[in-house]
Structure 1
Amino acid sequence: MRSDLMKTGVEKSPHRSLMKAMGYTEEELQRPLIGVANAKNEIIPGHIHLDKISEAVKAGIRMAGGTPIEFGVIGVCDGIAMHHVGMKYSLASRELIADSIEVMAMAHPFDGLALIPNCDKIIPGMIMAALRLNIPALVISGGPMLAGRLQNRAIDLITVFEGVGAVKAGKMTEAELKEIEDAACPGCGSCAGMFTANSMNCLSEALGLALPGNGAIPAISAARYRLAKQGGRQIMELVRRQILPRQIATLTAFQNAMTVDMALGCSTNTVLHIPAMAHEAGIDLPLDLFNTISEKTPHICSLSPGGMYHLEDLHRAGGVPAVMARLWQAGLINGEPLTATGKTMAENLAGVRVLDDEIIRSLDHPYHTQGGIAILKGNLAPEGGVVKQSAVDPQMLVREGRARVFDSEEEAANAILGGAIHPGDVVIIRYEGPKGGPGMREMLTPTAAIAGMGLDKEVALLTDGRFSGGTRGAAIGHISPEAAAGGPIGLIQEGDAILIDIPGKTLTLKVDETELVRRRAQWKLPEPKIKHGYAYRYSRQVTSGSQGAVLQD
């Protein structure tokens, strides 16, 4: 066993003495030692209950003959960090999470890892650590929040964000917004729509590193706690059989996950996290692969923010296994990859069926004929930009507009909420990329304001930052190279014509090359927005959004 490095032999008598100081018995030390990486904290609603999930996981480990050893992991709540300096630290926390788990598992050589995340950067950060370490590991999430209810309609966090714009536009009173605020988030769990956290929990299941049900079983359900116990037992089986993360997360498995991504209409943040996770597995995933898979994968689940359904509805319809079964039967999913169940994906999907054909539509009756995400390229984004095309109004799929240029999210949000943005405008928010932000902030406040003010069918937003999974409308992010790296987005001037063609996968700045050469000669890199601490170090080491915003090797 790997843990023998710290517990076996006369030389390890001091080590055993320290373990006994914590109450571990001889018998417990002789068993496989399983590190339980628990991201529980009291600032994220998706994590507030992870102590209970952890207890269920540890019970499962003990039932299967192992000894669980829990340690903590940090986490940022993107919703609470939104629209202030805190969001500069959200994406950057992913690398800290991966590094800290690596540190713990190398300093204390566990035989396996049970990974308990539930929200945006924590899930990919934990998976990155598992693939880097390549010891038996299993993702066991805390599950999604239920949707809120108000006047017999389902609402969620995005309803609140968009309500702010509605109040500013005079379409809603502050008292009405307060009613939404009080009802939208009814309890623990990752926010109820197909936002980033639920996207990543569903994709961890599709990738094979989590058990079936991980993505959609509600946080408050007894089934979630039964799954956690089952996960504790299963990590022991993975240790016994020495099934390793890189044996599961192969190129084919990643392609399966990307197919599910398109079918579900997941967050654009998956375009950052999937390549970053693949990078840790030694797999190169070019950005163009997203378009290749999207073009042949129908969008068959329309969940908030693009649709009316939530994760509890997906669970009721059969969950991620039902989506995958439908894709597998059509030949879009490869059944050969090994999964955390110890069986192949095909064996997991045998006998699985869809329980609601409206929530999970058939492939010949999809919500959209192509997948949820598209990669756009052109002279404005030579390395690409990302849009959640399933959440774009049809009349915005091809649109030419005039640039309204802002060098920070705050400037843009103030202009939008102040009524300075008008139909036909293309809002440009730059110097918000991985380097320039630093930290590639999410832009949910300005996009939700545009939607809440009723402008989402008339105004587009482009940024070298990124968007929340809750964003809808013609919002194109991850524009690479970013402005701080000398990208063309830094050369745009007020009033420039910009052509967006989502079906054609192009993004064009309609300024002739001679003028762009002149502008480039005059361009100067602004001073860093943060000049000290972790965010500054991150800005010096991080790569482009088109590369998953991983740190330079």
Structure 2
Amino acid sequence: MRSDLMKKGPEKAPHRSLFKAMGYTREEIERPLIGIVNSFNEIIPGHIHLDKITQAVKAGVRMAGGTPIEFSTIGICDGIAMNHDGMRYSLASRELIADSVEVMAMAHPFDGLVFIPNCDKIIPGMIMAAFRLNLPCIVVSGGPMLAGRVGQRPVDLISVFEGVGALKAGIIGEQDLEELEDYACPGCGSCAGMFTANSMNCLSEALGLALPGNGTIPAVSAARYRLAKTAGMRIMDLVRHSIRPRDMITMASFENAIAVDMALGCSTNTVLHVPAIAHEAGFTLDLDLFNTISAKTPHLCSLRPGGPHFLEDLNAAGGVQGVMKELAKIGAIHLDAQTVTGFSVGKNLESVKQVDHNVIRPVDNPYHAQGGIAILYGNLAPQGAVVKQSAVAPEMLQRTGRARVFESEQDAANAILSGAIQPGDVVVIRYEGPKGGPGMQEMLTPTAAIIGMNLGKDVALITDGRFSGGTQGAAIGHVSPEAAAGGPIALVEEGDRIAIDIPAKKLELLVDEATLKARRAAWRPMPPRIQHGYLARYAKMVTSGATGAILSH
């Protein structure tokens, strides 16, 4: 066992003495030692109950003959960090989480690891660590929040963000907004729609690193605790047979995850996280693969923020396994890909008996013939830009508009909420990329304001930053190269015409080349916004959003 490095033989008597100081018995020390990576804290609704999930995992490990040893990681609530300097730290925390797990698991050689994340950057950070360490491991999330209710209307966190815009536009009153605030988030769990956290929890299941049900079983359900116990038991089988992530997960597994991404209409943040995870697994995942898979994968689920259904509805309809079962009918799933269940995807899908086609559309009657995400290219985004095309109003799929240029998210949000943005405008927010932000802030406040003020069918937003999974509308992010790296988005001027053609995968700045050449000669980068501390170091090392915003070595 790997843990023998810290417990076996007379020379490890001091090490065993330290274990005994914590109350571990000889029998516990002699068993396989399983690291339980718990991201519980008291600042994230998705994590507030993870102490209980962790206890269930530990029970499963003990039932199967192992000794669970818990340690923690940091975690940021993207919603609470939104629209202030805290959001600069969100994406950057992903690398800290991966690094911290690596440090703990290398300093203390566990035999296996159980990862317990639930929210946006914690999930990919932990999965990146899983591939980097390549120890037997399994992921079990805390599960999604239930939808809230205002009267008979189901609501969620995004309803509150959009309510702010509706209040500013005079559509609702202050009491209406307070009612939304009180009831939109009814309890623990990752926010109730197909936002980034639930997207990544679903994709960890599709990838094969989590058990069926991981992405959709509600946080408050007893089934979530049974799943956690099963995961605790299952890690012992993985350890006994020395089954590691790189033994199981192949490029076919990543293609399965992207296919599910497209069918569900997941967050555009998956286009950052999946390539970053693939990089740790030893694969190069080009952005073009998203378009290739999207072209042959129908969009089967209309989930919040783009549609009416919530994660609890998807769970009742058959969950991720139900979606994969439907996609398998057209050959969009690699059935021979292996999973932590000990069986192939195809074998797992045999147990899926019924799929509710009111929530998971059949492949011959999808919401859209193509997947939920598209990668756009053009002279404004030579390395690509990302849009959740399934959440774009039909009127905005092809649009030419007037550029309204802002050097920060806050300036743009203020302009939108003050009524300065008019139908036909294209809001351009730059110097918010991985380097320029630094940290690639999410733009939920301005996008939600656009929707809340009933401008979703008339106004587009383009940025080298990124969007919350809760964003809907013609919101195009990850524009690469970013402004801070001298990308073309840095050359856009107020009043320029910008052409968006999502079906053709095009994003063009309608300015002649001679003018752009002159602007480039005169361009000077903005001074770094943050010059000390972690984000200053991060800005020096982070790569383009087109490569997953991983760190250079």
TM-score normalized by structure 1? Answer: 1.00
Contact 1:135 1:245 in 2 (8 A): yes
Counterpart position of 1:296: 296
How far off is 1:106 after superposition?
Answer: 0.1
Counterpart position of 1:338: 338
CA distance in 1, matches of 2:122, 2:342: 25
Q: Deviations over 1:117-156 (max 9, x none)?
A: 0000000000000000000010010000000011101100
| Secondary structure in structure 1 of the residue aligned to 2:353 | coil
Counterpart position of 2:72: 72
Count of aligned positions: 553
AA aligned to 2:122 is: I
Counterpart position of 1:83: 83
| Secondary structure in structure 2 of the residue aligned to 1:426 | strand
CA distance in 2, matches of 1:305, 1:372: 12
| Secondary structure in structure 1 of the residue aligned to 2:154 | strand
Counterpart position of 1:231: 231
CA distance in 2, matches of 1:188, 1:10: 47
CA distance in 2, matches of 1:362, 1:342: 28
Q: Deviations over 1:144-172 (max 9, x none)?
A: 00000111011000000000000000101
Q: Deviations over 1:2-28 (max 9, x none)?
A: 000000011100000000000000000
Counterpart position of 1:251: 251
Q: Deviations over 1:203-234 (max 9, x none)?
A: 00000000000000000000000000000000
CA distance in 2, matches of 1:263, 1:48: 30
Contact 1:304 1:470 in 2 (8 A): yes
Q: Deviations over 1:445-481 (max 9, x none)?
A: 0000000000010000000000000000000000000
Contact 1:6 1:15 in 2 (8 A): yes
Counting only pairs closer than 5 Å after superposition, residues 23-422 of structure 1 correspond to structure 2 as 23-422=23-422
How far off is 1:351 after superposition?
Answer: 3.4
Counterpart position of 1:439: 439
How far off is 1:195 after superposition?
Answer: 0.1
CA distance in 2, matches of 1:282, 1:114: 21
How far off is 1:423 after superposition?
Answer: 0.2
CA distance in 1, matches of 2:296, 2:239: 37
TM-score normalized by structure 2? Answer: 1.00
| Secondary structure in structure 1 of the residue aligned to 2:2 | coil
CA distance in 2, matches of 1:350, 1:173: 51
Paired-residue identity, %: 72
How far off is 1:427 after superposition?
Answer: 0.1
Q: Deviations over 1:70-122 (max 9, x none)?
A: 00110000000000000000000000000000000000000000000000000
CA distance in 2, matches of 1:87, 1:370: 32
CA distance in 1, matches of 2:493, 2:506: 20
How far off is 1:416 after superposition?
Answer: 0.2
Contact 1:401 1:498 in 2 (8 A): yes
AA aligned to 1:230 is: T
How far off is 1:249 after superposition?
Answer: 2.1
| Secondary structure in structure 2 of the residue aligned to 1:421 | coil
Q: Deviations over 1:347-383 (max 9, x none)?
A: 1111313431110000111011100000000000000
Contact 1:144 1:189 in 2 (8 A): yes
Query: Alignment RMSD, CA only?
Result: 0.5
Contact 1:264 1:300 in 2 (8 A): yes
Contact 1:323 1:354 in 2 (8 A): no
Q: Deviations over 1:299-341 (max 9, x none)?
A: 0011000000000000000111111111112211011111000
Contact 1:112 1:137 in 2 (8 A): yes
AA aligned to 2:408 is: S
Counterpart position of 1:10: 10
AA aligned to 1:418 is: S
CA distance in 2, matches of 1:376, 1:196: 20
Contact 1:162 1:451 in 2 (8 A): yes
Residue 464 of structure 2 is aligned to residue 464 of structure 1? yes
Contact 1:141 1:214 in 2 (8 A): yes
Gaps of 5+ in 2: none
CA distance in 1, matches of 2:354, 2:544: 39
Q: Deviations over 1:24-60 (max 9, x none)?
A: 0000010000000000000000000000000000000
How far off is 1:250 after superposition?
Answer: 1.0
Q: Deviations over 1:275-308 (max 9, x none)?
A: 0000000101000000000010000011000000
CA distance in 2, matches of 1:426, 1:155: 28
Gaps of 5+ in 1: none
CA distance in 2, matches of 1:414, 1:354: 48
AA aligned to 1:238 is: L
